[in-house]
Structures are given as structure tokens and as C-alpha cells.
Amino acid sequence: MFNKLSLKDFDLKGKRVLLRVDYNVPLNSNLQITNTKRIRASLPTLKYLIEHEAKIIIISHLGRPDGKEKPEFSLKPVAEKLGLMLKRPVLLTADVGGTDTYKYVRTMREGDIIMVENLRFDPGEEANDFDFANRLACLGDIFCNDAFGTMHRSHASITRLPEILPACVGLLVEKELSVLGAAIESPKRPYVVILGGAKVKDKISLISRLIDVADVLLIGGAMSYTFLSAAGFSVGRSIIEKDKLELAKLLLDKAKRQDVKMVLPTDHVATGEFSFSAPSAVVQSKNFPNILMGMDIGPSTIKTFKHYISKASTIFWNGPLGVVEFDRFSKGTEEILKAVANSKAFTIVGGGDTAKCVEQAKLQSKINFVSTGGGATLALMEGVGLPGLKAIKERI
């Protein structure tokens, strides 16, 4: 499906490779990195560039400094951590593609690594400014985008740089494209999709697209209440999106027409108020009390979902099935996660919240592929073109 130019298509020896990564890592109040996942994800590409004797100039954003130099958003902790991981110096420039950066880049040798300070210190990055991109482009001979989680953004380092320099994707993006591309184009069947999370609004086109490719859609989380309501059930005080009821009906009809099973929860863990301590009870979809709201899928639904999971050959999951922020409403998500981890299917988890649940349960090694994207993963699965991807040429 995707056959973009990759690092393997370029002779890298002695070339300055401007590498866009996603080092938007979480920091605590002491500016220490609390999760190094994004740095680790970039290591295969960095090692490849080192082995092929490129000169490596890393660019990334971190947080939202709003176009101003704010020390709390400096990439300094990232440069230090990366240096430790690679066991070689990673020099952080004092400016964003200004005189300090040029000074370092001019004297680089093969295998050297320089990290340019936070791109978002310059307003040109988020403004998708061509002049800013031109300044950055002077730093490299080749542009490589390995920032999958940022490819849905129209920012200068994502969409403008590939207009100026010969451009390709890195190994991380290549892997994302091959796994997610296959999950849309040629999944092994039965293909079971699990969808949860809060908003139908954000996932309508994803659901519509998945009805075209999946065999079974298991729907949980807050979004299931909009579907249940559209199917004629009362859902008490559960969150529903009234303006999306018609669309939810259309999606249910579409699934029926295409003989795709759209499985909605038959029972729920419900409570009278949105809090971690309020008493809860298991209630049935057929008989949902007016005064309660659904916070998690119930035991029968868990059993049904597990049944479909046990039959699957491919599983794609996005979105928690309950209010996982409160321990007592995270059971549905945890149980289904265990079932997915133990299934023989090829398993893919996409999206920030779900990936976080996998990490918390320490089940990463039992999931075949955890996508590094949130919005970018969903946009790719939906078939919405990613601006950062469009900008890179296909292999001929």
C-alpha cells in the first residue's frame, strides 16, 4: 500500500542527514524524562545512520512553548539521555537552526550526532513557514522523517522540508506503514477490531472505514452509549453525543448491510456519579436504570468480547473500554487486554491511551505491534492522507 522512499534508497556515507524525530517526551517537575519510549523508538534509525557513516542532525519538538524560547521545554534532558543510550556524545545546539547550529554542523564528521534545540522555540515551525524550513534545510543534504506521531501535522519540519530536500522515511515510519497498511489492505481473517474511548465524533470515519475491512467490531467505552441509544436502548445518564445519533444509526445499518458484526455491550458497570468512590452495580443494556451512567463494560460483555478475540487472526484495538483512570472501572479494559495479549492473532494496538494501558499492564512484549502514533495512527487507518507522508515521494 505504501512504498515511500526510505533510508535504504540513499547513499548515506558522509551525507548530512536531517532527521525529524518525535522526542515529545513526558517530563516531571525536575525536568527528568518519565518515559523514554519515544527515544527508544528512534534508535534503529539512528544506529542505521551511524553504521552507514552519515552525519546526523536531529530535529524535534517538545511540548508547547508557543514559538518562544522557554528553558523548561529545552531538549537538553533528551540529548543527555540519547547520548547515554547510544554511548556517544549528542551535542545540543543553543539555537534553532541559527549561527550556533551552523557552527557545529560545519565541522561534523561521519557518525557525529547533533541535536538542534526545540523546533517550536521558533514560531515558524507551527506556522508551517517556508523561510524557517529553508533555514533548516541548509543543515542537511537529505531529509528523513521518522516522527510518525507527528506526521498528521502541517508543520514546517514535516511538510516543508521534503519540498526542499531529497526526502525519505526512517525505519520507524517504514514499520508503522507496513503494519498499519496491511491492517487496512490485507488483514488475515477473521479480523476483529476493538474500539473504545470517549468520542464517536473523533472516530466516525475510522469506524466507517473499518466496517469495510473488518469482520467483527467490538464497541465499548463511552462511545458505545451513542450506538446503544441509536439502536433503541435507554442508557440512563451515560454520556451520549445526541448530534451523532443519526450517524451512529447509519453506521449500524452499514455494518448490517455488509454483514459485519457490530457487537455492543449487553451489560455495564454503572454508577450514580462520575467519581472513583461512588457505589456501582452491574446493569443490563435491556434494563438500564434512568439514574445511572455506564462506566465500564460488564462481565457478560467481557465474556462475549473474549469469545470473538479467541477466534481472531488479526486484532486492532483503539480506545479504553471504560473509565480506566478510576481503578474500579478499568476491569473491562484489563481483562480484554489480557485476552488480546494471550491470543494467537496478530495484534495491533493503536493510539495514545490504549498504548498507555498496555504499558501499565506491562504487556508490550505480548502485543505484536504497539503504534507510536495517536492522531496519526487513526488518520492513517481512516485513509486520511498524512501531510508528512504525502510530501515524501513513492519509490519508482
Site of interaction with ligand AMP (CB under 6 A)? 196-199, 202, 221-222, 239, 294-295, 319-320, 322-325, 353
> How far apart are alpha carbons 359 and 201 in whole angstroms?
26
> How far apart are alpha carbons 162 and 139 in whole angstroms?
13
Residue nearest to ligand AMP (CB): 197
Tell me, rounded to whole angstroms, the distance of Cα 135 from its chain centroid.
29
Closest CA to 353 of 243, 155, 220: 220
- One-character DSSP codes across 341-378: HH-SSEEEE-SHHHHHHHHHTT-GGGSSEE-S-SHHHH
What is the nearest approach in angstroms of ligand AMP to the Cβ of residue 291?
Answer: 16
What is the nearest approach in angstroms of ligand AMP to the Cβ of residue 221?
Answer: 4
Residue 11's contacts (CB-CB under 8 Å, 6 or more residues apart) are: none
Helix (H, G, I), strand (E, B) or coil at 240: coil
322: left (phi over 0), alpha (psi -120 to 50) or beta: beta
Sign of CA dihedral 308, 309, 313, 314: positive
Considering beta carbons, is residue 54 or 295 the nearer one to ligand AMP? 295
Instruction: Taking each helix axis as running N to C, give the angle between helix 171-185 and helix 37-51, from 0 to 180 degrees, rounded to the nearest 10.
Output: 110
Considering beta carbons, is residue 145 or 318 the nearer one to ligand AMP? 318
Considering beta carbons, is residue 162 or 322 the nearer one to ligand AMP? 322
> How far apart are alpha carbons 110 and 6 in whole angstroms?
20
> How far apart are alpha carbons 92 and 104 in whole angstroms?
9
What is the nearest approach in angstroms of ligand AMP to the Cβ of residue 230?
Answer: 16
What is the nearest approach in angstroms of ligand AMP to the Cβ of residue 202?
Answer: 6
> How far apart are alpha carbons 144 and 167 in whole angstroms?
6
> How far apart are alpha carbons 71 and 53 in whole angstroms?
32
What is the nearest approach in angstroms of ligand AMP to the Cβ of residue 315?
Answer: 17
What is the nearest approach in angstroms of ligand AMP to the Cβ of residue 328?
Answer: 12
Considering beta carbons, is residue 2 or 288 the nearer one to ligand AMP? 288
Known catalytic residues are 38, 199, 352, 375
Considering beta carbons, is residue 298 or 320 the nearer one to ligand AMP? 320
Tell me, rounded to whole angstroms, the distance of Cα 266 from its chain centroid.
29
Angle, CA 162 vertex, CA 156 and CA 165 arms, to 5° = 115
Query: E strands of 207-253, at which residues?
Result: 216-219
- Contact criterion met (CB below 8 Å) for 94 and 100: yes
Considering beta carbons, is residue 78 or 323 the nearer one to ligand AMP? 323
> How far apart are alpha carbons 219 and 228 in whole angstroms?
10
Considering beta carbons, is residue 2 or 329 the nearer one to ligand AMP? 329
What is the nearest approach in angstroms of ligand AMP to the Cβ of residue 152?
Answer: 15
